[in-house]
Chain A
């Protein structure tokens, strides 16, 4: 198992596993301090995630957008960019999908793919703005993506309110049946959980991430740009175009998260007062997964399951769901600071000689 994970992620499985255990432990201690029953809480959590087909299906639904936004942030990281704007790109993805889903009417084999593509392009375009501003004007992408998140929120509300609104509903019209990407038979199998094709696309995106970045010419170029822009210039790679392209792809990935929320889960877009947090959670997922596609997938599964299961803890053990964010935070913390875990392991197993610290 360890070997397998090592082969996939290029790292040891010990650290993440110990990190998860420590995270849950910290959560348990905090629950005990608060006077809650951690065993009941975790049992409720597991029950919520695996207890029945419906919740299992919905857990997958919760995981899906996190895979996309996690990949988005990780992709940008890999190309030397810090994309805090997955949130905004997610919203723009939703908006693009909604526009097509609501306002054009086409046969399903065109409509759904078109909605997916337009939504993805919206997200990509939104990411590209930050990329362009960085490339052309040298504006730090961290600031622009933060600002663009807010602009996206309000812009999307404007578009929904003024062009797509179903009167009196506070949301857009429902998208056409032909644009939806739900999987009816699977939903029925899983007691009406909201299953959709986006889950499969998310897995494809993981593969795409890997193949594109490490197997293609363009991926190679983007990695050179990310790691050493000077060398990239010398090698004849257009750095500015690389930055724009990288942000575009990152935006497409985040946009797809929004696309499938609209086309597969909500089937409409609501006017929203605040951010959903999926984009920000994407940062955590990317970090949890070490900016590695398979890592992101595993990170999203962990993050999504814990988040979804939190409602179960709340229901079954009356534990405030906030506890789960502490657990997730702690897990990331220990993943990020493997030194601490090694230190702990060393204390625990003094006989075993630990391998020299990498410096």
Chain B
């Protein structure tokens, strides 16, 4: 395997990873505040849907290369909308958080497809968006061997995701907001007794997770598929959730986990370039990313500790 291949693998890995990074950041914010977010899949679905639809309409209305950005914004917005359902149910009405997340997945899957059918005259898929994101090369840096191809030739959304990792890491660990957010997820009544508005923090976190997961879904529609259909999002939300846990609820950890998943995915394409791959049943190649993930989990990570109050509704006077 030569260096160029490794560069290409990295590049493909980033394409897969971008959405996972964004969504898992969303998962981290929500879960750090104490709200389980198994609805990432649904939030991504909502984001992908809104992105495909609005980018398409923006493109038709002549917004040109601004269209994917409009799509991205719409994706975030739609993600928030669904996250709001989750927030109201779990925070205000103290519904079981897992249940609510599953409901989000259900409603997102059903309603987006329904809307697609309404908006596109019965079609099960949105029309193709031609104005999608394109990879940009960072001058100079993209000439570095391996890394240039692997890292510095990427979609703007990939850079956005990486920047957000840094921003969220900084926010969580360096700012008062982050300190408070983590406190709320670890020990809400401790936060409450020092005057932090627990419910408001949780709302903020869950809505932000809608933004991020929505962005994650949107990147898939705006970089790889160019459309939205019933399985544009099929399992990525769950993989992102795995990345949250795998990454120990830490943005950098989740980044690593997401890149790992992306890398494992790209390996199977690279393997198929080699002649020996025709002797390996293709099913084993498809399995590879998932098997690798389990092996890494078993070998390296071990027990990860969730935020202390994850999954527990909070109300004043709770003991």
A to B CB contacts below 8 Å, 25 in the list: A82-B98, A133-B297, A139-B294, A139-B301, A142-B241, A147-B293, A150-B235, A151-B287, A154-B284, A157-B283, A158-B281, A284-B102, A322-B114, A323-B110, A325-B110, A326-B110, A329-B107, A330-B107, A332-B106, A333-B103, A336-B99, A339-B93, A340-B89, A340-B95, A359-B318
| Interface flag for A30 (CB, 8 Å) | yes
| Interface flag for A320 (CB, 8 Å) | yes
B107 touches A161 (CB 8 A): no
A322 touches B117 (CB 8 A): yes
Cα separation A97 to B289 with both chains bound (whole Å): 27
| Interface flag for A351 (CB, 8 Å) | no
Cα separation A283 to B98 with both chains bound (whole Å): 10
A328 touches B302 (CB 8 A): no
Cα separation A151 to B294 with both chains bound (whole Å): 10
| Interface flag for A353 (CB, 8 Å) | no
CB-defined contacts of B287 to chain A, threshold 8 Å? 150-151, 154-155
A151 touches B102 (CB 8 A): no
A332 touches B103 (CB 8 A): yes
Cα separation A265 to B223 with both chains bound (whole Å): 41
* B289 (CB) vs chain A CBs: closest residue: A150
CB-defined contacts of A138 to chain B, threshold 8 Å? 302-303
> Could you tell me the distance in whole angstroms from the C-beta of A249 to the nearest C-beta in chain B?
20
> Could you tell me the distance in whole angstroms from the C-beta of A66 to the nearest C-beta in chain B?
14
Cα separation A162 to B298 with both chains bound (whole Å): 29
> Could you tell me the distance in whole angstroms from the C-beta of A217 to the nearest C-beta in chain B?
29
Q: Which of B291-319 contact A (CB under 8 A)?
A: 291, 293-294, 297-298, 301-304, 315, 317-318
Enumerate chain A interface residues (CB-CB to B < 8 A).
30, 34-35, 82, 84, 133, 137-140, 142-144, 146-148, 150-151, 154-155, 157-158, 161-162, 274, 283-284, 287, 320, 322-326, 328-330, 332-333, 335-337, 339-340, 343, 359
> Could you tell me the distance in whole angstroms from the C-beta of A274 to the nearest C-beta in chain B?
7
CB-defined contacts of A84 to chain B, threshold 8 Å? 238
Query: Given A154-B283, A336-B100, A336-B103, A133–B114 Cβ distance below 8 Å?
Result: no
| Interface flag for B179 (CB, 8 Å) | no
Query: Given A161-B283, A287-B102, A336–B89 Cβ distance below 8 Å?
Result: yes
Query: Given A30-B114, A140-B304, A329–B281 Cβ distance below 8 Å?
Result: no
> Could you tell me the distance in whole angstroms from the C-beta of A19 to the nearest C-beta in chain B?
11
Interface string of B229-257 (1 = CB under 8 A from A): 00100110011011001100000000000
Interface of A is mostly: helix
Cα separation A340 to B95 with both chains bound (whole Å): 9
CB-defined contacts of B231 to chain A, threshold 8 Å? 274
Cα separation A284 to B109 with both chains bound (whole Å): 14
Cα separation A329 to B82 with both chains bound (whole Å): 13
> Could you tell me the distance in whole angstroms from the C-beta of B100 to the nearest C-beta in chain A?
6
A337 touches B89 (CB 8 A): yes
Cα separation A35 to B119 with both chains bound (whole Å): 12
> Could you tell me the distance in whole angstroms from the C-beta of B257 to the nearest C-beta in chain A?
9
CB-defined contacts of B114 to chain A, threshold 8 Å? 30, 34, 320, 322-323, 326
B245 touches A322 (CB 8 A): no
* Of the residues B96, B106, B234, B238, contact of A274 by C-beta under 8 Å: B234
CB-defined contacts of B92 to chain A, threshold 8 Å? 339
* Of the residues A35, A144, A146, A323, contact of B239 by C-beta under 8 Å: A146
| Interface flag for B187 (CB, 8 Å) | no
> Could you tell me the distance in whole angstroms from the C-beta of A328 to the nearest C-beta in chain B?
6
B238 touches A146 (CB 8 A): yes
* Of the residues A139, A142, A329, contact of B106 by C-beta under 8 Å: A329
| Interface flag for B53 (CB, 8 Å) | no
* Of the residues B100, B109, B291, B294, contact of A325 by C-beta under 8 Å: B109
Cα separation A332 to B98 with both chains bound (whole Å): 11
A30 touches B294 (CB 8 A): no
> Could you tell me the distance in whole angstroms from the C-beta of B88 to the nearest C-beta in chain A?
8
A133 touches B294 (CB 8 A): yes
B246 touches A143 (CB 8 A): yes
* B112 (CB) vs chain A CBs: closest residue: A322
Most buried by A among B95, B102, B238: B102
B242 touches A155 (CB 8 A): no
CB-defined contacts of A337 to chain B, threshold 8 Å? 89, 93-95, 100
New A-B pairs, 15, CB < 8 Å, besides A34-B118, A147-B293, A337-B89: A139-B297, A139-B298, A142-B241, A142-B245, A143-B293, A147-B242, A148-B294, A150-B289, A151-B287, A155-B287, A158-B284, A274-B231, A287-B102, A320-B114, A333-B95
A359 touches B315 (CB 8 A): yes
* A142 (CB) vs chain B CBs: closest residue: B245
Cα separation A324 to B245 with both chains bound (whole Å): 32
* Of the residues B85, B109, B242, B283, contact of A142 by C-beta under 8 Å: B242
B302 touches A139 (CB 8 A): yes
> Could you tell me the distance in whole angstroms from the C-beta of B192 to the nearest C-beta in chain A?
15
Cα separation A274 to B117 with both chains bound (whole Å): 22
> Could you tell me the distance in whole angstroms from the C-beta of A11 to the nearest C-beta in chain B?
13
* A330 (CB) vs chain B CBs: closest residue: B107
* B122 (CB) vs chain A CBs: closest residue: A320
B110 touches A322 (CB 8 A): yes
- Leading 6 A-B pairs by shortest Cβ distance: A325-B110, A329-B106, A337-B95, A138-B303, A158-B283, A336-B99
Most buried by A among B93, B289, B291: B93
* A324 (CB) vs chain B CBs: closest residue: B110
| Interface flag for B132 (CB, 8 Å) | no
* Of the residues B281, B290, B318, contact of A150 by C-beta under 8 Å: B290
| Interface flag for B277 (CB, 8 Å) | no
Cα separation A139 to B304 with both chains bound (whole Å): 8
CB-defined contacts of A335 to chain B, threshold 8 Å? 99
